[in-house]
Structure 1
Amino acid sequence: MQKKNLKKTYKFAIKTSLYVTLFVTLLVSVFLYYNNALNWEIIFFPLICFSLSFVIIQFRVERFIYKRVKKIYDDLTLLESVDLRQQPITTDMGTLTKEIDKYAKDKKIEIETLKVREEYRKEFIGNVSHELKTPLFTVQGYIDTLLDGGIDDEKIRKKYLNRASKGVERLTYIIKDLDMITKLEVGDLSLDKEHFDIVKLVQNVFELFEMKAAKKSITLTFDIDYTEPVMVYADVERIQQVLTNLVVNSIKYGRKKGTTEVSIENLIKNKVIVRVTDNGEGIKEENLPRLFERFYRVDKSGSRKEGGSGLGLSIVKHIIEAHEEKMYVESEIGVGSEFSFTLEKAK
């Protein structure tokens, strides 16, 4: 164990020596006065008394306090308090009390943070288990049916193999999304930035999902006619993934005969903000802070019917943060939601 330096303090010894000197001097003076032995030499007595008292008190108290304080520091060191390990041991009770209070507060915050993380970990593992279990058991059920004799019936064979294939696709989709998030979090996914027209990219996404939107009579539109290109500097493939997730979500949770509107506005000199707004069902305020967590679903039943890995918004947030940009969300129940993110303008 690393040997600690002793940080000496003299306040206690000085004050105590002063009190002892005053008290003893007063007693001796009174005694000498009543015995008619009081003379000018008494002035040396306080100096001698103070010096002796200070040395004795400082030496004895220092040893006494040091032994006990060192034990406290050693006990805290076992709990790996870096701050306390690096500081010298102080024999001043006031300083020690402050250090212990600060240590206790820091540990309390650390414990509360660990509890929150532990709850998040448990919930995350439960969600991963559920998301993987559903398609896995589905695939297993279809395969078991085929093995039990269904394979001899051509119609059943084709039908169940197609369904099993969809289950495997869903499993692959979830695993790929998890892998992407992990790479984004550790900074292992490099961005291939280039200059491109964000207006054209939005149009491409609209074209990809116009059939999906048409099934719910949802209109995909810009807020205005963009006659000029809006050039930005980013990874075009990743930003398309962001727009895809946001547009698909707006269709998923949008109302029939509703609208998904995209606007591109100048934010500051070198930034634009892209907004994806719908007039769908909206999101409750208490759900907004957790909206970008992995597998977090606002509507536990409805969202599962719609499919998806439950990782879309988490991926969106990580992609935007990988670009060192900001992601925003505003929503009101019964009115709709707006997801927006910033991008760097092309120079």
Structure 2
Amino acid sequence: MSLSPRFIAFILAFLISLITTSFLAFVEGVSRGMMFVSAISAFISSFFLVLYAVDILVFREVNKMYRTIHKLKMKDFNLAPRKKLITESNPLKTINDEIFVYVTKKQKEIDELKKLELFRREFLADVSHEFKTPIFAAQGFIHTLLDGAMDDENVRERFLIKAAKNLDSLDVLVKDLLVLSQMETGDIKMNIAPIDIRLLALNIFSRLENIAKDKDVTFKVKPDELAEVWVLADADRMEQVMLNLIENAVKYGNEGGKVIVHFSEGKKFVEIAVRDNGPGIPHEHLNRIFERFYRIDKSRSKEIGGTGLGLAIVKHILNAHDTKIAVMSKPEKGTTFSFKLEKAYISPASESIPEAAATQANP
């Protein structure tokens, strides 16, 4: 039932006329004709007075408020198709609901902007710190040489090597920032094709053999009976993911530890897990390890090296593959990073092409 101004005026005018007539019925000397005239007069006058009060003083103002909300409406403010509020069953409740929705969404926007502002300040501070370290180190070595140490051949060569290493670290940092920025803006497109991710993991084991020997870390692929694991992914980007996860497992794991890459095949997806038996990650850090430049132990991270962007890049690469990375860790028992990729079904006649793609990923 529509609560239009005319309907409200009609109901109120009828009630007023009825009450007036009822009172006149108890007055002596009032004829039925007089009662009828009084009822009609009360109804007509009440109808127009109420109609004016409701329509002009209430409904029109409410409709103005409704139109204002439509004008304020942003893309995120979802209102019903434009129509007059007088057709609503309860216009005041409707306008209140609309205002409540609008205010709630704006409050969420404000909260999100505050979080972004905090993130921006932290990011700028982190970037400044990460750039400052190699730049100041390289400056120190070069200025020392310019101040006279260049005449000593041994000092000159040693300082130039150190300056070059710091500039190389700066170059890696800039490249990682560029890759991360391109991933976030979608400028880098994924070239999805079948790849043997088991072969990719074995190739990465070979590349990391030296640092694994230094820490007496052993590599293992499980299950043993799997000869190959075909998935749909970008070979180059998936190499970045696996290299980062396996290298981190070696660097941050215990000496004499193990790094296991485990594959679990389902009907449509393959779950890939990179596991170590190192000291683990404290629970309070698990939700932040994928943030840019976030380090659990800054002093230890500086000794080990890295830009602090690896896991952030991993997260964005996997998001671009429509999957997410999960992490589980227990103190002194190790850490496991896992994610899922869609299975690729390879016929014997087409295996040569994916093998070539996997080989190109590790020249």
TM over 0.5: yes
| Alignment deviations for residues 268-306 of structure 1 (CA, whole Å, 9 cap, x no partner) | 223211111001111122222222121122222211221
Distance 1:178 1:129 in 2: 13
Secondary structure (helix, strand or coil) at the match of 2:208 reads: helix
Quick one: structure 1 residues 335 and 235, their matched pair in 2 at CA, closer, same or farther if it must change by over 3 Å? same
Q: Name the % identity.
A: 37
Compare 288-297 and 220-229 and name the one that shifted more.
Answer: 220-229
Quick one: structure 1 residues 149 and 10, their matched pair in 2 at CA, closer, same or farther if it must change by over 3 Å? same
Quick one: structure 1 residues 193 and 29, their matched pair in 2 at CA, closer, same or farther if it must change by over 3 Å? closer
Deviation of 1:232 after TM superposition, in Å, equals 2.4
Secondary structure (helix, strand or coil) at the match of 2:292 reads: coil
Distance 1:141 1:85 in 2: 65
Q: State the TM-score, normalized to the length of structure 2.
A: 0.83
Distance 2:62 2:16 in 1: 30
Deviation of 1:249 after TM superposition, in Å, equals 0.6
Quick one: structure 1 residues 19 and 165, their matched pair in 2 at CA, closer, same or farther if it must change by over 3 Å? same
Q: Which residue does the alignment assign to 1:332?
A: 330
Secondary structure (helix, strand or coil) at the match of 1:290 reads: coil
- What are structure 2's unaligned runs of at least 5 residues? 346-363
Deviation of 1:28 after TM superposition, in Å, equals 5.0
Q: Is residue 199–residue 226 contact of structure 1 (8 Å, CA) maintained in 2?
A: no
Deviation of 1:345 after TM superposition, in Å, equals 2.1
Quick one: structure 1 residues 344 and 331, their matched pair in 2 at CA, closer, same or farther if it must change by over 3 Å? same
- What are structure 1's unaligned runs of at least 5 residues? 1-8
Correspondence 1:224-239 to 2 at 5 A: 224-226=223-225, 228-239=227-238
Deviation of 1:32 after TM superposition, in Å, equals 6.2
Q: Which residue does the alignment assign to 1:196?
A: 195
Distance 2:279 2:60 in 1: 67
Amino acid at match of 1:218: V
Correspondence 1:260-275 to 2 at 5 A: 260-266=259-265, 268-275=266-273
Amino acid at match of 1:160: F
Q: Which residue does the alignment assign to 2:277?
A: 279
Matched, 1:320 2:318: yes
Matched, 1:212 2:211: yes
Amino acid at match of 2:123: F
Q: Which residue does the alignment assign to 1:123?
A: 122
Amino acid at match of 1:90: L
Quick one: structure 1 residues 131 and 16, their matched pair in 2 at CA, closer, same or farther if it must change by over 3 Å? same
| Alignment deviations for residues 94-129 of structure 1 (CA, whole Å, 9 cap, x no partner) | 221121122222222221122122212221221111
Matched, 1:344 2:338: no
Q: Is residue 76–residue 84 contact of structure 1 (8 Å, CA) maintained in 2?
A: no
Quick one: structure 1 residues 36 and 190, their matched pair in 2 at CA, closer, same or farther if it must change by over 3 Å? same
CA RMSD of aligned residues (A): 2.7
Matched, 1:186 2:188: no
Q: Which residue does the alignment assign to 1:306?
A: 304
Deviation of 1:33 after TM superposition, in Å, equals 4.3
Distance 2:17 2:175 in 1: 84
Quick one: structure 1 residues 21 and 191, their matched pair in 2 at CA, closer, same or farther if it must change by over 3 Å? closer
Deviation of 1:212 after TM superposition, in Å, equals 0.3
Q: Is residue 253–residue 280 contact of structure 1 (8 Å, CA) maintained in 2?
A: yes
Secondary structure (helix, strand or coil) at the match of 2:187 reads: coil
Q: Is residue 258–residue 279 contact of structure 1 (8 Å, CA) maintained in 2?
A: yes
Q: Which residue does the alignment assign to 1:30?
A: 23
Distance 1:241 1:167 in 2: 22
Quick one: structure 1 residues 336 and 196, their matched pair in 2 at CA, closer, same or farther if it must change by over 3 Å? same
Q: Is residue 18–residue 50 contact of structure 1 (8 Å, CA) maintained in 2?
A: no
Deviation of 1:37 after TM superposition, in Å, equals 1.8
Secondary structure (helix, strand or coil) at the match of 1:120 reads: helix
Q: Is residue 261–residue 274 contact of structure 2 (8 Å, CA) maintained in 1?
A: yes
Q: Is residue 25–residue 35 contact of structure 2 (8 Å, CA) maintained in 1?
A: no
Distance 2:302 2:72 in 1: 45
Correspondence 1:117-196 to 2 at 5 A: 117-196=116-195
Distance 1:157 1:89 in 2: 82
Amino acid at match of 1:279: N
Correspondence 1:83-122 to 2 at 5 A: 83=78, 87-88=82-83, 90=85, 92-122=91-121
Q: Which residue does the alignment assign to 1:64?
A: 57
Q: State the TM-score, normalized to the length of structure 1.
A: 0.87
Q: Which residue does the alignment assign to 1:3?
A: none
Q: Is residue 317–residue 327 contact of structure 1 (8 Å, CA) maintained in 2?
A: yes
Quick one: structure 1 residues 202 and 75, their matched pair in 2 at CA, closer, same or farther if it must change by over 3 Å? same
Deviation of 1:65 after TM superposition, in Å, equals 2.8
Distance 2:191 2:25 in 1: 96
Q: Is residue 69–residue 89 contact of structure 1 (8 Å, CA) maintained in 2?
A: no
Compare 268-277 and 24-33 and name the one that shifted more.
Answer: 24-33
Amino acid at match of 2:31: L
